[in-house]
Amino acid sequence: MKRNFIFICFAMTCALSFSQVKINADGKVGIATSAVPLSTLSINTAGESIKEAKISSTKSITFSASRDASTSSGWARAVDAGVGLSPHAYNVGVIGFAYTPTAIDTGQSFGLIGIAGNYTPGSNYGVLAMLYGTNKGAGIYATSVHNDYGTYINGRYAGYFRGNVFVTGSVNGMLLTPVISSSNPSLLSSQSDSEESAMTKLSRLNTIQFSMQSPLSTSRAALSATDTVAATKELTFDEAQIYSRAHYGLIAQELKEVYPNLVYENEQGGLSINYIEMIPLLVQSIQELTTEVNQLKSGEILPRNAAANEGNEVVDSNPMRMSIPKLYQNTPNPFNQSTEIAYQLSQDARSASISIFNLNGGLLKRYPLSPGTTTGKVQISATDFEPGMYVYALIIDGTVIDSKRMVLE
State the pLDDT at residue 227.
52
The total of structural domains in the chain comes to 3
pTM above 0.95, yes or no: no
Residue 284 lies in a domain: no
Domain endpoint, select from 55, 71, 96: 55
DSSP state of 381: E
Residue 280 lies in a domain: no
Do residues 42 and 138 both lie within one domain? Answer: no
State the pLDDT at residue 316.
46
State the pLDDT at residue 6.
34
Nearest to 192 by CA among 279, 304, 359, 300: 304
Do residues 305 and 397 both lie within one domain? Answer: yes
Do residues 48 and 147 both lie within one domain? Answer: no
Show the DSSP H helices in 91-236 as ranges.
198-203, 215-222
With cut-offs at 50, 70 and 90, classify the pLDDT of residue 102.
very high
The answer on pLDDT for 312 being more than 50 is no
Residue 161 lies in a domain: yes
* pLDDT 10s digits, 112-145: 999 999 999 999 999 999 999 999 999 999 999 9
Whether 408 and 338 have beta carbons less than 8 Å apart is answered as: no
Residue 401 lies in a domain: yes
State how far the Cα of 59 lies from the Cα of 78, in Å rounded to an integer.
19
pLDDT mean over 256-262: 93
Whether 331 and 299 have beta carbons less than 8 Å apart is answered as: yes
State the pLDDT at residue 314.
43
Lowest-confidence segment of 36-45, 79-88, 155-164 by average pLDDT: 79-88
- CATH label of the domain that carries residue 352: 2.60.40.1930
Residue 70 lies in a domain: no
* pLDDT 10s digits, 198-228: 888 888 888 888 888 876 665 555 554 545 5
The answer on pLDDT for 320 being more than 60 is no
* pLDDT 10s digits, 267-297: 888 899 999 999 999 998 888 888 877 766 6
The answer on pLDDT for 367 being more than 90 is yes
State the pLDDT at residue 182.
64
DSSP state of 79: -
Kindly report the three-state secondary structure assignment for every residue of 282-316. Answer: HHHHHHHHHHHHHHHHHCCCCCCCCCECCCCCECC
Range of the domain at 147: 110-166
